[in-house]
Structure 1
């Protein structure tokens, strides 16, 4: 329990990310399929511009600690911005061409791609056998569930696969940026939203979304307006929790959060939409996915517990002896210096070869250095991508 309490903020933001991500998927499916809302670029534009304007207002009021946008921020987050825009675009297009449960099946392959890309990009060592087992079980469940439903459109499956690859690259790049940048997740969202807004505005104009949206008959329905505004607000919250969860945990953990919340999303999708019927393969795949998710949670719990035990040994068990060893070193150095001078003078005045040999040995002994006490935690295996 001590390990869990120490990771409470990371666990809380992971749960929040799962809630916002699942809610957004359901709302978007209602809006796109149920109300035939096809202005996807405009939806992205509103989400990014709302985040940019909101954070800029809070920054000017001094409510958030975010630096003003400039060339430095644009250089740091340009690559993340490109992948973020591609990922959200492909996600919306795949939701249009796939049923909600099948879309979730594709997303459950995210840990596999995130793990593979993370090992290649982050170069922080191979993941533990437990993490590998959890990823393999989860991917097997996704394949099993998807084998029972091939009723989607071909371009929907193509965008689904591409969306998973881009999403995995996006999460790994966020983790890489968090290690190299001095800025936090709120600054990342601010910079990405500011950079993406003009690009999406141009896309909305080119795709005619900016002009055709005014003739959409659904605006007369208060339910459509509520769905649209809710999607924009939850989209902003989901983007922030994506950055925050990846900063505090890892890219693989963020991808597994999506697997955990997929069970609820699938259940709501089957009850709310009639574009897929549950089959034995599908239910079996969901069950295997659940086992994989639980396996990952258990593995990470014991890894965190092991890491905390190492930190306890470093801070409590080794610190006191190290301090005790530090105290006499000053006195020993002074005594050694005085003895060294005495022996050197004796060797020079008497020309005694034995004294010269003793002096050489003493110098060799003084050059020895004890190993650093802080090396224990640094040797602990780094967190998987």
Structure 2
């Protein structure tokens, strides 16, 4: 009876984590696009988001609202690559949003599940079932068909998006590994990621020439209530997105997180045809979305049957030192 309750609780947590990440991720695309339409300094925006995340978690720990161990240099060294890959992903994603419309941006980002699947095979992970492989390939095929319908091609924007896919794949794989092997919680991973990001981002905004003009522009924009409101929402949602993304990856897997991103992209793409400038719809776009959706549904069904037939044991290691012993 207890085992059944534990399984139900685990399944509920997995579902909640996946849905939370999907909804937050969908909203964040439009929020970032709205901010960038008024403030194009994407690296400075990312730096402010990461600084806000670090301060909020630290204050929450001081006040007793969040629980995590204090800063540990060994843990920081382990998570350094995660931080670099995460920020590279977000930086290139924000840069691509300047020149690529939302539907096509999401279409390119949907190639991430296939990249994660390939990365897992190279890492020596157990080969997924045939249904999982075919569903991911079908999802990616839908992406390519939809992308063919984009007649407002932007080479720089597309290049930025493809590079973002690579970095997103790398950090999702590393997050999954850290959560399973080191017993780190979502809050801990998020805190280290944000803190370690700051020196790297400060170097970038100076090297790329954004600073200090970006800061002056931000102060100039502060007199606009509408801009400050959307910026505040962006900061809050950035924190929520980081948390739900890491939670989904630790509770489920890197591949599940990317597939959730694919499914939420269907809604984002549909809204993207009408919001924030919109884009002209073509038969190829609609066909690609239909193929992509079919692949996502097929994947969900395959994973459900896999969990139903066999519940794999999940490693939970609350104490890293105990694990080492």
Shift in Å, 1:201: 2.5
C-alpha contact (below 8 Å) 2:44/2:210 kept by paired residues: no
Determine the C-alpha separation between the residues in 1 that align with 2:58 and 2:10: 33
Matching of residue 41 in structure 1 with residue 46 in structure 2: no
Post-superposition offset of 1:198: 2.5
Match of 1:272 in 2: 275
1:88 paired residue among 87, 90, 97: 90
Give the alignment partner of residue 285 of structure 2, picking from 282, 285, 295: 282
After superposition, where does 1:291-306 map in structure 2 within 5 Å?
Answer: 291-306=294-309
Find the counterpart in structure 2 of residue 116 from structure 1: 118
Match of 1:98 among 77, 82, 100: 100
Whether 1:235 and 2:269 are equivalent positions in the alignment is no
Off by >4 Å, runs of 4+ in structure 1: 1-6
Question: Could you state the TM-score of these two structures normalised by the residue count of structure 2?
Answer: 0.89
Q: 1:278 to 1:4 in 2, by over 3 A?
A: farther
Q: For 1:280 and 1:227, how far apart are their aligned partners in 2? A: 34
Q: Secondary structure at the match of 1:286?
A: helix
Q: CA deviation at 1:15?
A: 0.4
Matches within 5 A, 1:210-225: 210-215=212-217, 218-225=221-228
Indicate yes or no: 2:187 matched with 1:186: yes
TM-score, L = length of structure 1: 0.76
List alignment gaps of at least 5 residues for structure 1: 312-385
CA distance in 2, matches of 1:82, 1:138: 28
Q: 1:6 to 1:64 in 2, by over 3 A?
A: closer
Deviations 1:281-301 (A, max 9, x none): 101111111111111111111
Aligned twin of 2:29:
25
Contact map agreement 1:39 1:209 (CA 8 A) in 2: no
Q: Residue 149 of structure 1 aligns with which residue? A: 150
> What is the alpha-carbon distance in structure 1 between the residues aligned to residue 263 and residue 282 of structure 2?
20
Inter-CA distance 75–83: structure 2 relative to 1 (3 Å threshold):
same
CA distance in 2, matches of 1:5, 1:67: 26
Q: Which residue of 2 aligns with 1:75?
A: 77
Question: CA shift at 1:204, angstroms?
Answer: 2.9
The Cα of 1:4 is off from its aligned counterpart by 6.2
Query: Residues of 1 paired with 2:94 and 2:166: CA distance?
Result: 15
Deviation for aligned residue 1:214: 2.1
SS at match of 2:128: coil
Q: 1:199: how far off?
A: 2.2
Is residue 131–residue 296 contact of structure 1 (8 Å, CA) maintained in 2? yes
- The aligned length equals 307
- Which structure is larger by alpha-carbon Rg, 1 or 2? 1
Indicate how the Cα distance of structure 1 residues 296 and 4 shifts in structure 2: closer, same or farther if over 3 A, else same. Answer: farther
CA distance in 2, matches of 1:4, 1:146: 39
Partner of 2:320: none
Structure with more relative contact order (C-alpha pairs < 8 Å, separation 6 or more): 2
- Equivalent-residue separation in structure 1 for 2:10 and 2:193 (angstroms): 30
Instruction: State the shift of 1:5 in Å.
Output: 5.7
Alpha-carbon separation, structure 2, partners of 1:292 and 1:259: 10
Give the Cα separation in 2 of the matches to 1:4 and 1:161. 38
| Counterpart in the other structure of 1:131 | 132
Q: Which runs of 5+ in 2 are unaligned?
A: 314-325
Give the Cα–Cα distance (whole angstroms) in 2 for the partners of residues 212 and 5 of structure 1: 47
CA RMSD of aligned residues (A): 1.9
Q: Aligned residue for 2:319?
A: none
Aligned equivalents of 1:211, 1:6: Cα separation in 2: 49
Return the offset for 1:6.
Answer: 4.3
CA distance in 2, matches of 1:226, 1:6: 37
Q: Which moved more, 1:252-261 or 1:172-181?
A: 172-181
